[in-house]
Amino acid sequence: MNTLVCTTPGSFEYQFSDKPELLKDTAIIKIKRIGICGTDLHAFKGTQPYFTYPRILGHELSGELVSFDNAPGFEAGEPVTFIPYFNCGECIACRSGKPNCCANIKVCGVHVDGGMVEYLRVPSYSLVHGEGLSYDDLALIEPLAIGLHGVRRAGVKPGEYVLIMGAGPIGLGTMEFARIAGGKVIALDVNEMRLQFCRETLDIPYTVNPANENAIEAIKSITSGDMASVVIDATGNLNAINSGINYLAHGGRYVMIGLQKEAFSFSHPEFHKRESTLMSSRNATRDDFEFVIDCMKTGKVKAENYITHRTGFDQLKDEFSQWLDPANGVIKAMVEVD
């Protein structure tokens, strides 16, 4: 089968490999869609933590279930996606119902080879039914679930202001679920095209661009001086993370979805005087996946809003690097596999 391997930062190479064999408690999926996410872009650039090369990227995936062992309720030929965070089932996190932050986690396309392939073997326990959704929809469940998980970590309440830093795909999904939770969403980004997308496509009521306005004053004006009860970082940008505390209301919650290699820091007095709550948000759970599916089926979230670019698997190597340039206006690139 044809496989696209990230051999070193900045370099892809098509290679041929054997189709995976079905093993005990596993399933084989014929890949139909590959969503390109920030993790893939960072890995290509060489800035992704927890990463070694060579690596087959890709974890936003959907496809046709070809064969399986020990997957009750599933049928060969049905459309599926899967939860790409392979957990051990034994560590304290797994025993506590938090497999998304398993101490021994193996994330598909990060710690182990991922889905830029024609056929992929995954643990049977990770399978998720298609529920009548399209392959495009199914490939977008995972990034949307990450945003939802961050909103749930924050415990967003109806009527409170929620500032989301970063209007990339993860941030946009976070905005949608913060809005669904009843929050009054403020989008912050330095890319004006993305802020326009927030306003016009996702109906986000407030946007702030710190590149051309004083962000603190803008947020203060929006919130009548209170600042945001919830701040969620979806940038992974060190400057943004360090600045986030300045946008937080007293008694507020600061949640980090974005991931940064370096140590972050902010003023202890600023953090302390607010009696702030600081949390990370890692990956997502099956409950998150199921909630996203329900929102898609009921029309609360529309996958087509996110997909701005498409290409075929055979063209992916040549087109991938252009998606690194913000000027190209990529929200979500979707790869179609024959």
Same domain for 112 and 28, yes or no, is yes
**pLDDT, position 327:** 85
Residue 35 falls inside a structural domain: yes
What pLDDT is recorded for position 338? 84
For residues 73 and 69, give the distance between their C-alpha atoms in angstroms, rounded to a whole number. 11
Q: Both 181 and 276 in a single domain?
A: yes
- The boundaries of the domain holding residue 211 are 146-280
Q: Which residue has the tokens 């000027």?
A: 327
Residue 261, pLDDT > 90, answer no
Task: Answer whether residue 287 is part of any domain.
Answer: no
| Predicted pLDDT at 69 | 98
Task: Supply the CATH number for residue 208's domain.
Answer: 3.40.50.720
CB-based burial, 14-32: b 16+ in 10 Å, e otherwise: eeeeeebeeeeebbbbbbb
* For range 106-132, the mean pLDDT: 97
Are residues 244 and 155 both part of a single domain? yes
- Residue 63 counted as domain residue: yes
Total Cβ atoms within 10 A of residue 54? 13
- Does 255 share its domain with 311? no
User: What pLDDT is recorded for position 296?
Assistant: 98
Beta pairing partners, 164: 187, 232
Residue 135 lies inside a defined structural domain of this protein: no
93/212 same-domain check: no
Same domain for 257 and 157: yes
CATH number reported for the structural domain that contains residue 310 in this entry = 3.90.180.10
For residue 50, the model assigns a pLDDT of 73
User: What DSSP character marks residue 54?
Assistant: S
Name the residue with tokens 């992916």: 316
C-alpha distances in Å from residue 25, one per residue of 68, 124, 233, 267: 7, 5, 37, 49
Residues 241 and 323 in one domain: no
What integer is the mean pLDDT of 274-288?
Answer: 97
22 alpha-carbon distance from chain centroid? 28
Most distant CA pair in the chain: distance in Å? 61
pLDDT, average across residues 287-303: 97
Least confident of 40-54, 115-129, 165-179, 238-252: 40-54
The pairing of strands 106-107 and 161-165 is unpaired
Token pair, residue 328, equals 């190209």
Q: In this predicted model, what pLDDT tens digit does every residue of 193-231 receive, in sequence order?
A: 999 999 999 999 999 999 999 999 999 999 999 999 999
Number of domains composing the chain = 2
Shared-domain flag, residues 184 and 240: yes
Using CA atoms, how far apart are residues 313 and 30, in angstroms rounded to an integer? 13
77 and 156 part of one domain? no
Identify the residue with better confidence: 97 or 50.
97
Confidence of residue 106 (pLDDT cuts 50, 70, 90): very high
